[in-house]
Structure formats: C-alpha cells, structure tokens
Amino acid sequence: MSTFASLVSILLATSFAMAQSGAPAAPAQGAPPAGAVEGVPLGPPEDAPMDLPPGFEKIKPPSENWKAEETSPEAVKKGEAAVAAVAKAYAAAPAVEDTVKLAIVIPGGGEQTQDLSIAFGPAGAARITAPDAIITRIGDDLFFEPEAGSPKYMKVTKAGSLIDAMESAFGGAMMPLPQIALRSGDGAASVEALGGPFVPQARVVGFRGAADGKGGVVLLKQGEGEAEVAIDPASGRLAGIAYSAVPPGAPRGFRVPVTMVIGSTAYDKDLPRPIAFDGKGRKAVDSLEAMQQAMDVGDDAPDFRLKDTEGREVSLSELKGQVVVIDFWATWCAPCMRGLPKIDEFAQWAAGKPVKVFAINTMESDEGPEDRLQKVGTFWKGKGFSFPTLIDGNDQVSRSYGVQGIPFTVVIDPQGRVADVHTGLSPTLVADLKKATEAALAAQPKG
C-alpha cells in the first residue's frame, strides 16, 4: 500500500479489512505478494480445520460477562432507545467535536494506534482530522488533503449528507467513526454505524444501565463479532466503544480487540476553530488517483543523471528539444514484463523522430551495485529491446518522480515539462504514448 493510500490512516477500515482477511498490506503495484510461491495459493484451503493456531490464546466474547436480564427483550428495547438518544444528542448540539483514540490489537502482530478527531459545525459543516489526512465538508463541497496546506487537494461536490459525499469521494468505504451517522439523528442507521467495519451490520442485543439511570452500555452483535458501546452519562454522547471483532473464516476463539476512547465536547454556537477551507495557491483535483499522482501534466520534470548497462551516462537536462519517454520497471515486476514489449513497440515507432526512450530500473533488492548491474545487464541483453535501460541505483530518481507502483511511464516534452503520465499496465499504452508524443512535438515552439 502506498503511503498516500493511508487515506487508510483515516479510513482505517481498509487496513483492518486486510487484517481480517489475513492478507498482507497491498504492495506497490506489480510487487510480488510476500511469501508467494508460484502455483501455491496463499492462505489455508477452505476446508482447513478451524482450530486456534498454537501460541494464540482464546479470547472470550464480551457477552459471556453479561447477565440474562441484561440481554432480555426488554433490555434490547432499552438499548435501541439508548442509541436513538445518543443520535439525538449529537444532532441537537449546534457544534460538537469528538477526539478518538483508536487501538487495534492484531493477535501475534502487536498494536496499531491512531488518533483522530471529528467536528461538526452549523449548516452541515464537518471536519475529520488524522495525522496525515484531513477531510472538510462545507455546503455541498467535500475537500480531502493528505495534510494541512498540501499543494494538492481533492474536491468533490455532492449534495446531501456527509455520508453521501464520503461515498461519492471514497467509493463507499465504511468509516470507523460512527459520529458521522449519529450527527444525522437517525437512530436506526446509527446502530449499524456503531458496529462500523469491525462488527458490520450489527444489531442491539443488550443494555446495561448505570446505577443512577444515566449513561449505560449497549451490547451489539452480528455473527460472532461483538461491541460494547459506552454512553457518557453527562453529555449523552459516546464515551467509548470496545469491539471484539472476528475475521471471516477465523479459527474458533480468534478475536481482534479494537478500542475507541472518545472525548466529546459540545458548543452553544460554533467551534473554537470554525470549519473552513482555503485552497488559494493550491491545485484542486477530482479523484484519489489524481491525488496519488505526484507528477502532473505541465510540471517541470525532475532532472536526473543516470548510467545505462554499458556505463553510458544520460542526463535529462541535456535532452531538451526532444521528447523523452521514461518507463520505471524492475526485474521482479510481472506487469513490467508485459509492459516493456509495449514500450519497445513505441520506441521502434519513435525511431528517426526527435524522441528518446529509456527504461529506468528501480526498486530492486538490496544487492550490491555490481551485482545489480550484472543482473540487470544480463536480463536486458537477453530481451534484445531497441532502447536502453538506465539504473536508478538508490531509487532517488523514482522517488523524485513520486513513483509508488510500477510500471510507471512519463512523457516529457521538449521544454522539459511533464506531458503525460501512466501508472500500471494499460492495453492502450502504445497508442496513448504516440498521441502524447505527437502532441508534445506539435506544441514545440518553432524556430
């Protein structure tokens, strides 16, 4: 998974879903899965015994500590009423801000923590903040930025609720922040939101009231997954949630503890720091893909000076006046193996034109420079491509181009500006490169 795609820092549901499935975090595009062996499927077969692996301690579900009267039909009705009251408390406040300390304990894998905050202001304004992501909702506009003041931000205009706007921007990923649904005041939708990505499609199965009749704890359940939702007796809003999540297909007794410690503060008029967004001097894009793309058309292409497998040095700055096409690749990258022949087809088309084509080898293993040179040189000679490959020995050039997955192809115009960018393997790559190259040559100043 790319650093940016830790929108997953704020959409923690994604990283949790990976933990649920037992799958590793997604590697950069084209990278081999960790532990993958050709012809051998990852993970146990569907009919594998469902015993708890050695070394894992069986975790009891929270409901085992609940009394029968706390899970009776009367208690369930009280729990449903309590959730509806929590939703009303969030909806009634002119402005409210919650801090959330979320911790996920992956059995055998340590603890992952994340500090989040979510604030609601008048007129539907909202702000969600994580260490490396900020989402702002003002009117019908939703803004996403990986950090405050970032040079690029995503803007999506969508009428309706914050949930509607989030689904439009992020493809319906479920947020681990039930306050979004609670703020709407819809008690029925709030039950499922409280279960979130950890106990999806949860229902109320119990209620434990406080001795003074204030606050209380609501027990949620779906399948084997459970959650205990604590209600603050003073505010009537959330105080915390303790999840006991069960990954699909997990062995009996295997549970993932997830806790949310919540501090909630309401304000009579507006937040101390009103919700606002200033995009002045920054670039707006309309998709996550555009946000991930470090290089934009029109940007100055970062200069580089690299050697090919024969020791010849190539400098981008010395190639001005020509179109330069570079394709980042690695020997382990299966999509690159399918993409390089397409680059070669394009290079043969470009022969005789003011166009230079280079592959750039990057993201290889930690072997020494000489071993890498020999490996890449032998590989390249065996392929017989009509264009050379350069070697990005310390991956500095790929970092300067914001490469997060390979293959990654960039067309640079004669003035040294980015004319086109392609991430991954496209069936129309050759045609796209020809079109971008012809356009860049046609736009070159005459004389």
DSSP symbols for 318-340: GGTTSEEEEEEE-TT-HHHHHHH
What is the domain-level CATH number for residue 252? 2.50.20.10
Residue identified by tokens 């670039």 is 283
pTM strictly above 0.75: no
In a domain, 3, yes or no: no
Residue 3 has pLDDT above 60, yes or no: no
DSSP 8-state secondary structure symbol assigned to residue 133: E
317 and 257 in a common domain? no
Cis geometry, peptide bond prior to residue 407 (ω within 30 degrees of 0) = yes
Give the full edge-to-edge strand order of the sheet including 133-138.
Answer: 203-208, 216-222, 225-231, 238-245, 256-267, 95-106, 110-120, 126-130, 133-138, 141-145, 152-157, 283-285
Domain count, the chain: 2
Range of the domain at 94: 62-267
Query: pLDDT tens, 123-132?
Result: 999 999 988 7
Query: pLDDT tens, 271-305?
Result: 999 999 998 888 888 887 777 776 778 889 999 99
359 and 251 in a common domain? no
409 and 313 in a common domain? yes
Region of poorest pLDDT, from 34-38, 221-225, 290-294, 311-315:
34-38
Residue 56 has pLDDT above 90, yes or no: no
In a domain, 335, yes or no: yes
195 and 93 in a common domain? yes
Average pLDDT over residues 237-245: 96
Alpha-carbon distance 216 to 79, whole Å? 9
> Who has greater pLDDT, 168 or 120?
120
Helix, strand, coil shares of the chain as percentages rounded to 5? 30, 30, 45
Domain boundary among 225, 247, 267: 267
> How far are the Cα atoms of 205, 206, 447 from residue 66, in angstroms, in the given order?
11, 8, 84
In a domain, 32, yes or no: no
The sign one gets for the Cα dihedral 339, 342, 348, 353 is negative
Best CA proximity match to 416, nearest among 304, 317, 343:
317
> Who has greater pLDDT, 131 or 154?
154
Task: Report residue 413 as tokens.
Answer: 């115009």
Task: Report residue 409 as tokens.
Answer: 């192809």
| CB distance 391 to 306 below 8 Å | yes
215 and 342 in a common domain? no
| CB distance 10 to 147 below 8 Å | no
Alpha-carbon distance 356 to 363, whole Å? 23
The sign one gets for the Cα dihedral 346, 348, 354, 356 is positive
What pLDDT is recorded for position 167?
86
Best CA proximity match to 6, nearest among 14, 174, 101:
14
207 and 90 in a common domain? yes
Residue 16 has pLDDT above 90, yes or no: no
Residue 85 has pLDDT above 60, yes or no: yes
249 and 311 in a common domain? no
203 and 335 in a common domain? no
311 and 168 in a common domain? no
315 and 210 in a common domain? no
